[in-house]
Amino acid sequence: MIMKKLVLLLFFGAHFLSVDAFSQEYGNSVDPLKLCVAIQSNNFISDVEAENALDRILSVIGASKRFVLQPCDNINNAVAISYKGVRYILYDKEFMNSISSGDNWGNLFILAHEVGHHVNGHSLDLVLYAAEAVEAETLPSRRQQELEADEFAGFVLGKLGASLQETTSVLNSLANDRDDTYSTHPSKSKRLLAVNRGHKKGLENDKNNYLISSNEFYSSGLNKAKIKDYKGAIIDFTRAIDFNPNNYKAYTNRGTSKRKLNDFPGAIADLTIAIELNPNVDTIYLARGSIKQFLMDSNGAIADASKAIELNPNNGSAYYNRGTSKMDLDDFYGATIDFTKSIELNPNYGKAYTNRGASKIYLKDYRGALADLTKAIELLPNDKYAYLNRAYAKNGLNDKEGACDDARKAKELGIDSSELILIVCSQDDGK
């Protein structure tokens, strides 16, 4: 008796397949299904991928996870079922593997379809049914439920970003278009219409929701980056990008977070995508250029800084960065021009004075260098490079005593200037 009920139940529960595969299967599936429910109910070994897939589906509808995913061999299907008040989705791993080709939209569709049965209240409770407390639905009513589950699945996949073709691919390969009068499942064309409807809804009400979600993750990522939790920030920025692949700010900040973690190629890749998405933001070029400079790609760095300047002629940092890259290429004259521009834009730019002073030493303009480095030390009293370079400037002006003082100060601040001290301080020592 119970066995008979289980047969009927399976007939109700085995939702997905078209009637052919289904009628072929159900007779063989009773025992495994029964076993799955009865034996494995206390021993759930969840397939991680299936769990992740379920999480993705539930993230769309915002439901807390009130389903148990149960791998179940040999049912050649996925089934929504309730048992002792717990909602199960049983699925056959091999079956799910067989329909996943390249991506997992097919699997997601099937799981979403089963979740659709649950959230729409279709799944029959095994215990109540066996106790004859509830009746199985009529065929027309079941077919209606299938369409509701299909629409739900289309909605979920649309929200998750699947194209209509990706969403319907599994139905196209598994369902058929025969007369459905005596079937639990509607004909393929009816099901495709339902999926279409759901998919369209998913896209419609979703553009805004997606943007909102993307911005929420983006803000959360910014907060994490602020407290130097760069790994956490990268995860949030990635979610922001998942929700809105055009979120160039998320790419930008994921890139700068990667830089903080010394992932330079990853950082450059992200900043490059950000630039492709929005080529008009000077600060993104600036960020990418500074990484290139760090990686000794001076020409690349100069190109990015120049682009930043083109977009925003008041970006003093871009002039400064370009100047330092020019120094790396021994273009000291060009460098001083850029540093002068950055000082014009920001008269308190201490490091620009330091580097302009250093460039002037290479150009043998020791007086100019002395003035710049003195100004730099005024603005940045602990700038060891300013002291070191001023020592060279003073040495160039034959002020050995002053050079010696500055060289010692540079050493005090952490620069190994022993050699310079030997040269410029020797006369003092000899006195």
As measured in angstroms, the least distance from the Cβ of 54 to Zn ion is 16
Say which residue the tokens 């920001």 belong to.
346
According to DSSP, residue 41 is labeled G
Selected range binding Zn ion among 13-21, 97-105, 250-258, 412-420, rule: CB under 5 A = 13-21
Nearest partner of 100 among 66, 49, 146, 156, judged by Cα: 49
Q: Which is nearer to Zn ion, 146 or 383 (CB)?
A: 146
Please tell me the number of Cα atoms within 13 Å of 6 on its side-chain side: 16
Q: Among 10-18, 298-306, 325-333, 400-408, which window interacts with Zn ion (CB under 5 A)?
A: 10-18
What is the DSSP-derived secondary structure letter of residue 109? H
Stretch that binds Zn ion, among 145-153, 231-239, 240-248, 334-342 (CB under 5 A): 145-153
Task: Return the number of the residue (198 or 255) whose C-beta is nearest Zn ion.
Answer: 198
* Separation of CA 255 from chain center: 11
283 vs 118, 245, 254, 280, CA distance in Å? 49, 20, 14, 9
By CB under 5 A, the count of residues binding Zn ion is: 3
- Rounded to an integer, what distance in angstroms lies between the CA atom of residue 209 and that of residue 62? 12
Q: Does 192 participate in binding Zn ion (rule CB under 5 A)?
A: no
Spatial distance between the Cα atoms of 123 and 78, rounded to a whole number of angstroms = 13
83 Cβ contact list (under 8 Å, min separation 6): 37, 41, 125, 126, 127
**What are the tokens at 251?**
């790419």
Nearer to Zn ion by Cβ, of 11 and 362: the residue is 11
* Closer of 123 and 253 to Zn ion (Cβ): 123
Q: Which stretch binds Zn ion (CB under 5 A): 11-19, 124-132, 236-244, 252-260?
A: 11-19
Based on the shown chain and the rule CB under 5 A, indicate whether residue 307 belongs to the binding site for Zn ion: no
User: Which of residues 77 and 336 has its CB atom nearest to Zn ion in the complex?
Assistant: 77
Angstrom distance (rounded) from CA 13 to CA 7: 10
- Distance (Å, rounded) from C-alpha 372 to C-alpha 349? 11
Nearer to Zn ion, 13 or 357 (CB): 13
Beta carbon nearer to Zn ion, 149 or 343: 149
Does the protein bind Zn ion through residue 15 (CB under 5 A)? yes
Question: Alpha carbon 6 to chain centroid distance?
Answer: 45
Q: Mask 93-132, x = binds Zn ion (CB under 5 A)?
A: ----------------------------------------
User: In the numeric block, which tokens belong to residue 50?
Assistant: 């299936």
Nearest to 315 by CA among 288, 333, 341: 341
Rounded to 5 degrees, φ, ψ at 375 are -65, -40
- Using CB under 5 A, which of the segments 36-44, 141-149, 151-159, 170-178 binds Zn ion? 141-149
* Touching Zn ion, residues 148-177 (CB under 5 A): 149
Shortest distance, position 104 Cβ to Zn ion, whole Å = 19
**Minimum distance of Zn ion from residue 81's CB (angstroms):** 11
- Smaller CB distance to Zn ion: residue 69 or 149? 149
> In angstroms, what is the minimal distance from the CB of 19 to Zn ion?
12
Name the site residues for Zn ion (rule: CB under 5 A).
Answer: 15, 146, 149
